[in-house]
Structure 1
Amino acid sequence: MNRCVQPTMRQKRAQASPGKPELLAPAGSLEKCKIAYLYGADAVYVGGKEYSLRAFATNFTRDELAAASRLAHESGKKLYVTVNTFARQSDLESLPSYLQYLQEIQVDALIVSDPGVILLCRAHAPTIPIHLSTQANTTNALSVLFWKNQGISRINLARELSIDEIKSIRTETSIELEIFVHGAMCVSYSGRCLLSAFLNDRSANRGLCTQPCRWSYRLVEEKRPGQYFPIAEDTHGSYIFNSKDLCLLQEMGLLMSLGIEAFKIEGRMKGVLYLASVVRAYRQAIDAYWQDPDSYTAKEEWRLDLEHVSHRPYSKGLLFPEDHALHQGSDESNPYCQTHTLAGIVREHSLPQHPLSIYPEEEQSLWVRVEVRSRIVAGMTLEFLYPDGRTMEHTLNYFEDLAATPLRVAQPNTMITFPVPFTVFPLQVIRMEQPAGSSAQK
């Protein structure tokens, strides 16, 4: 469906909000934080070991938070820390010292949802801006005004809003607004779910969600114990709660025209292939629109980047009610789509000439050291991802281990070296087509 960008709206918002929108990416570890910045994120949001709604992510120690803050500021980027758990009484004693530490290391914002935590932030980290989490369910302009009066500087709007509702809120308010544009969606309203707490005694509202909404379910009749009936005629069962993944790449022109200050990507528990691919796709889209909004179109290569990461079938969420996106059930026989996998990550590269090379024609090639993340076999084609959107292919005909022994197969969590006829860089992400029947990493 073609949706026209309204020039009058774009011009109106350009006067009030002249800055380019921020691309905000997730990071579950310090390495992922670095990769997000490399591939074009303006800001990264992370969680500490406590008070974050992604307790199963690696998350950051205090020293790692300090290192991430230094990295952000040295790179001209920003670092936001999630403190978006719904605090229990026992949390209130230890939170103040944590907030004071975050102020000491000068993080750029705190992402919060609990009103009590907001009071603590204002008391113990008064110089740090507060961003309101989507967990706060902000769905109207009066709520935005209320939170602004509480000292909030940016609001991540509820994911349940339609495009018309977002337009209205944007027109009636001046505070910074942020919306999710990509990633997994919860089946519960703005993520406030009790299913995991009831089934596993692990609360989603305290960062411990085990995602039971994505398990495969079958039906049992009360008087026929042990007899399991599929809800749909399929050997994999039925993913009866499972929502699709959000993907608004095709709508970025319209969203950019509204004057939204930040576009957020979900996925602190996702892998580096997801992170690099999704960040660079949306980076290209934002930059292209900003450079020439009147001739902007979403490019096919951006879409392919998003198709090449593991994902559920994509939808536009609830942005366009006429699409009925969430009412179209996932394909139970194939709940995940994955055509490519993470082959490895570049760790180092050496001088052009490798002293042990047995191929004279490769003497001018750059030798690269790669940490292998999926099983690699000679003859496979590797794809090196660049932040500017380029993807360089290389057929791996020859590679060695670190002892310079030629190999035909490399297993995950090993190091290999090989020559490539183009420039690479540390932490560059390499993907390859998903081998049939494999369970490689994302």
Structure 2
Amino acid sequence: MSKILKRPEVLSPAGTLEKLKVAIDYGADAVFVGGQAYGLRSRAGNFSMEQMREGIEYAHARGAKVYVAANMVTHEGNEEGAGAWFRELRDMGLDAVIVSDPALIVICASEAPGLEIHLSTQASSTNYESFEFWKELGLTRVVLAREVNMAELAEIRKRTSVEIEAFVHGAMCISYSGRCVLSNHMSKRDANRGGCSQSCRWKYDLYDLPFGQERRSIKGQIPEEFSMSAVDMCMIDHIPEMIENGVDSLKIEGRMKSVHYVSTVTNCYKAAVDAYLESPEKFEAIKEDLIDEMWKVAQRELATGFYYQAPSENEQLFGARRKIPQYKFIGEVVAFDESKMTATIRQRNVINEGDEVEFYGPGFRHFKTRIQDLKDSDGLPIERANKPMELLTIKLPQVVYPGDMIRSCQSGLINLYKEDGASVTVRA
């Protein structure tokens, strides 16, 4: 008898109400958001209670869930008001909160009983014993530390019934499970209370310090200023192993990313899960398309984090970029008149008559065409549209749907390393 595989949840980031709706429309089974307190993304478009309520209603009407990140490390006084905040979230139907600080866990469990609690990756759970510890405290899910490898993940799954949420895509923190004080020292912004200034992403000078002599900058003698910046994680071609090892939730990082990013990455992981559960052969048939799709959205270079090996210099952003996305997000479809084959689109970036573009939508739908019969919001023909958020109309050769996204195909620098490692510039 063949093994029955559990369908993992595709969990997408939602920094704003718009992104929440886009993520769900593009296949997310759940989204995680930030409220206006107790989270770690103070610069994200965090949700007011009114927005939270609207987002929960939108998600639940479509069979999706909403989780709120409340994963800050509290200092004395930071926890004030948390009990009432958790109760309000519970009463509006929130599915779970994501917490790392034991103080907030105790407050939530005691003052908002019935609200499900998930343990944040910031708590650095790397073994099944810690999963069992949190289970005894009433937590139902643990977000795996990003430093856990695939063999360890498999062993944890065998030894605990607690739900496993694991990161599969997005930014990697240079510090252990995000617990960093570099930002505190460099910019006096507390990374563990929502103020991270991403000091690891800055460029630094590198010095030679001969004993007893003046330090000497060696800037210009290395490909790039000294950096601690990690590449992004991408596990799209390893989704079969995540499913086989019983991961319950596939987590995509990026609450501060664009709707282009959210729609593209969610679409890919949803398609990957659907394909593999249909058959391994179906997944193999679309795997390269999924990988190519990932490179149509702005991001850093990609690697598999700690899942298969300890990251080396190849998982750091040293030297010239080895690959650069060649697509630019330019708009989304607002309406489509099938009798006239005319789409009304909302512009997000410059659009020119004759531009080669790609339309894509939920369900991994794609087609390429050129911008034809471009008209402004007054219905007048134009050659170039450069007013952000303007409503435009164009003629299309096939049907599109409201919510479909549009990319322009841009030339860019690609393949910036030869096989021998020498730097080279090639224009697409």
Report the counterpart of residue 396 of structure 1 in structure 2: 371
- The change in CA–CA distance for 1:232 and 1:183 in structure 2 (over 3 A counts) is farther
Aligned mates of 1:335, 1:120 — CA distance in 2? 47
Alignment of 1:24 onto 2:8: no
Aligned mates of 1:373, 1:412 — CA distance in 2? 8
Alignment of 1:207 onto 2:183: no
Report the counterpart of residue 360 of structure 1 in structure 2: none
Alignment of 1:419 onto 2:408: no
> Which segment drifts farther, 88-97 or 326-335?
326-335
1:112 to 99, 103, 124: 99
- The change in CA–CA distance for 1:294 and 1:415 in structure 2 (over 3 A counts) is closer
Q: 1:422 is matched by which residue type in structure 2?
A: Q
Report the counterpart of residue 222 of structure 2 in structure 1: 233
- The change in CA–CA distance for 1:396 and 1:313 in structure 2 (over 3 A counts) is same
Alignment of 1:169 onto 2:162: no
Structure 2 counterparts to residues 317-332 of structure 1, below 5 A: 317-321=305-309, 324=311, 328-332=315-319
Report the counterpart of residue 264 of structure 2 in structure 1: 277
- The change in CA–CA distance for 1:396 and 1:238 in structure 2 (over 3 A counts) is same
Q: Per-residue CA shift, 1:72-120, capped at 9, x if unaligned? A: 1111111111111112222222212211110111111111111110011
Contact 1:137–1:190 (Cα < 8 Å) also in 2: yes
Aligned mates of 1:328, 1:124 — CA distance in 2? 43
Structure 2 counterparts to residues 362-377 of structure 1, below 5 A: 364-365=340-341, 367-377=342-352
Aligned mates of 2:323, 2:198 — CA distance in 1? 15
- The change in CA–CA distance for 1:149 and 1:339 in structure 2 (over 3 A counts) is same
RMSD: 2.2
Report the counterpart of residue 147 of structure 2 in structure 1: 160
2:111 to 121, 124, 128: 124
Tell me how many residue pairs correspond in the alignment: 408
Normalising by structure 2, we get a TM-score of 0.90
Contact 1:25–1:43 (Cα < 8 Å) also in 2: yes
> Which segment drifts farther, 22-31 or 201-210?
201-210
Report the counterpart of residue 315 of structure 1 in structure 2: 303
Contact 1:111–1:130 (Cα < 8 Å) also in 2: yes
- The change in CA–CA distance for 1:402 and 1:85 in structure 2 (over 3 A counts) is same
Report the counterpart of residue 306 of structure 1 in structure 2: 294
Structure 2 counterparts to residues 23-422 of structure 1, below 5 A: 23-219=10-206, 228-230=217-219, 232-234=221-223, 237-293=224-280, 296-297=283-284, 299-321=287-309, 324=311, 328-334=315-321, 337-349=324-336, 351-353=337-339, 364-365=340-341, 367-413=342-388, 414-422=390-398
Aligned mates of 1:436, 1:101 — CA distance in 2? 48
Aligned mates of 1:396, 1:170 — CA distance in 2? 50
What is the CA-CA distance between 1:339 and the residue it aligns to? Answer: 1.5
% same residue: 35
What is the CA-CA distance between 1:425 and the residue it aligns to? Answer: 2.5
- The change in CA–CA distance for 1:156 and 1:326 in structure 2 (over 3 A counts) is farther
Q: Per-residue CA shift, 1:105-154, capped at 9, x if unaligned? A: 11111111111100111122211211111111001111010000011100
Q: 1:408 is matched by which residue type in structure 2?
A: E
Aligned mates of 1:57, 1:335 — CA distance in 2? 29
Q: Per-residue CA shift, 1:181-239, capped at 9, x if unaligned? A: 111100000011111111111111112111111112213568869x75327533xx325
What is the CA-CA distance between 1:426 and the residue it aligns to? Answer: 2.5
> Which segment drifts farther, 22-31 or 396-405?
396-405
Q: Per-residue CA shift, 1:409-433, capped at 9, x if unaligned? A: 1115133211223222233221122
Contact 1:253–1:289 (Cα < 8 Å) also in 2: yes
